[in-house]
Structure 1
Amino acid sequence: MTIYLDTSDIEQIKILSDLLPISGVTTNPTIVARSGEKLNTLLPKIRDALGNNGLIFGQVISNDAGSMIEEAIKLNQIVDNFVVKIPVTLQGIKAIKSLKNEGIKTLGTAIYTPQQGIVAALAGVSFVAPYINRIDTLTGNGIETVSTISHLLAHHAQSCQVLGASFKNTKQVIDCLSMSNTSVTIPVEIAYQMMTNPCVDEAINQFQCDWITAFNSLEH
């Protein structure tokens, strides 16, 4: 199990990778577009922000297999420990198979169904990324989809891992991580929500008040 940040915010990557056990950063074309920087300049900044540790994920934007392959090869040369995200379409599967032969690590993205997940895994991806909240909103039950994919991978593609994406709350994250062989990529706001709770703050404040009442300071 690993946790990744789904962001291109360099400052937040620095802050959260220092605070939390973050294993890397994922991006997608929308996230990159919001940054105002293309991947050839953004990826090295993310690598530096991670302290040269962890995986970085970046996505191709082409629709045909040949162009996807060309993009993937170029992206893979920008930074080390890089994973190319490929949409799981017919053309995407073709690209994944070719990139597997090239030794380039891939993630199958834009997954809404178990059949996409298992086909991508058999084609050679290292990760499959079901869109949890989007599945909930559009087509069904995101966590049930993760469960089915996880079960299929355990029987037929054990080298592939579920990397849950598209979360809107921490319950979805925990439900996803409750499945076997799963990791998650979460946006910055969810990362903070994972470790903030007013009840915890209240308890800590009460501990300090009781200590000060007894000993007149916070010293041991």
Structure 2
Amino acid sequence: MSVYLDTSDIEQIKILSDLLPIAGVTTNPTIVAKSGVKMLNLLPRIRDALDGDGLIFGQVISTNADDIVAEALKLNQMVDNFIVKIPVNMQGVKAIKRLKNEGVTTLGTAIYTSQQAFFAALAGASFVAPYINRIDMLTGNAIETVESISNLLSHHAQTCQILGASFKNTKQVIDCLSIPQASVTIPVALVHQMMENPCVNEAIDQFNQDWLDSFGTLSHEEK
């Protein structure tokens, strides 16, 4: 089980990777476009923000297998510990299979069904990324889909990992993490929602006040 940040916000990567056990950063073409920085410059900045640790995921924009493979090979040279994200359709699976033979680690993305994940894993993908909220919007059964994927992988592709993506609320994240083999990539806003709770601060304030009432100072030193 691992938690990744789904962002290109360099400052938030620095802040959250310092505070939390973050395994790396995922991006997609929309995230990169919003950053206004192309991959050649963005990926090294993300690597620096992670202090050289963790995995970095970046997605191809090519749509046929030959071009996907050529683009993936170029992306794979930009930073170390890089995982190439490839949408799972016929051309994508063909490219994943070829890239496996090239020694390039891939993630099958835009997963809406268990059969997509199954074929991506058999082709050689090391990760598959079901789109949790998008599946819920279409069918209402995203977690059932992830459970089905987990079951298939346990029987047929045990080295492939689930990386849940496309979350819109914290319940979706926790439900996904409850499934064996599942890790998650979370938008920055959701990470803050999961960690920031006013009740915690209220409890801390009460503890400190009780201590002050008894000892007069927030210290373990004797007066």
TM-score (norm 1): 0.99
| Counterpart AA for 1:134 | R
Once the two structures are superposed, what CA deviation does each residue of 1:83-134 show, in whole Å capped at 9, x if it has no partner? Answer: 0000000000000000000000000000000000111000000000000011
Amino acid aligned to 2:121 = A
User: Which consecutive residues of structure 2, in runs of 5 or more, have no partner in the other structure?
Assistant: none
Could you tell me how far apart the structure 2 residues matched to 1:175 and 1:116 are? 21
Give the Å deviation of 1:47.
0.3
Counterpart secondary structure, 1:22: coil
2:64 maps to a residue whose letter is D
In the TM superposition, what is the alpha-carbon distance from 1:199 to its structure 2 partner?
1.4
User: What's the counterpart of residue 6 of structure 1?
Assistant: 6
What is the DSSP-based 3-state SS (H/G/I as helix, E as strand, rest coil) of the residue aligned with 1:58?
A: strand
Q: Which residue of 2 aligns with 1:20?
A: 20
Query: Deviation digits for residues 125-150 of structure 1, max 9, x if unmatched?
Result: 00000000110012331111111100
SS at 2:219 equivalent: coil
Deviations 1:5-30 (A, max 9, x none): 00000000000000000000000000
Partner residue in 2 for 1:123: 123
Q: Which amino acid is the alignment partner of residue 61 of structure 2?
A: I
Kindly, what percent of the aligned residue pairs are identical? Answer: 73
RMSD across aligned positions (CA): 0.7
Opposite residue 182 of structure 1, the aligned amino acid is: A
Kindly indicate whether residue 79 of structure 2 is the aligned counterpart of residue 79 of structure 1: yes
Match of 1:71, SS?
helix
After TM superposition, where is structure 1 displaced by more than 3 Å over at least 4 residues in a row? none
2:96 alignment counterpart: 96
Q: Secondary structure at the match of 2:109?
A: strand
Matched, 1:146 2:146: yes
TM-score, scaled to structure 2: 0.97
* Structure 2: distance between partners of 1:64 and 1:212: 67
Higher mean Cα deviation, 189-198 or 84-93? 189-198
Partner of 1:137: 137
Amino acid at match of 1:49: A
Q: Aligned partner of 2:105: which letter?
A: K
Residue 30, structure 1, aligned to residue 34, structure 2: no
Q: In the aligned structure 1, how far is the partner of 2:35 from the partner of 2:212?
A: 47
Counterparts of 1:145 and 1:202, CA distance in 2: 39
Provide structure 1 residue ranges, at least 5 long, that are not aligned to the other structure: none
CA distance in 2, matches of 1:212, 1:169: 38
Aligned partner letter, 1:44: P
Match of 1:42 in 2: 42
